[in-house]
Amino acid sequence: MRTIRIGSGAGMGEKPDDWRCVPLCGGPEGCHARQHRIGERTFWAEYEKRQGQSVEQLIKSLIAVSPKRHEIEAIQKERGNG
């Protein structure tokens, strides 16, 4: 799992919310390693071009199937970002 910091509102030394984690394939040639090599913004820009889906859309789709969906949505609503 890789935590997405873009758009998280978390600053330096702050941990983004757990629901901003997405699964990435591992291994030396996997997506996780590539994201480290080229940087988060470049990686997600490439992902959006290839998949036609932004990282925020991906996170929303993962939340939609999460068993904690209602809890996450309540927190987002409380913060004004849901």
The 10s digit of each residue's pLDDT in 13-69 is 777 788 888 888 888 888 889 988 999 899 999 999 999 999 989 999 999 999 999
Q: Which domain holds residue 61?
A: 2-79
Task: Give the model's pLDDT for residue 48.
Answer: 94
What ranges make up the beta strands (E) of 1-82? 2-3, 21-22
Domain count, the chain: 1
Task: Give the model's pLDDT for residue 20.
Answer: 84
Task: Read off the pTM.
Answer: 0.76
Task: Give the model's pLDDT for residue 27.
Answer: 80
Query: Which tops the pLDDT comparison, 13 or 82?
Result: 13
Question: How far is 58 from 71, CA to CA, in rounded Å?
Answer: 18
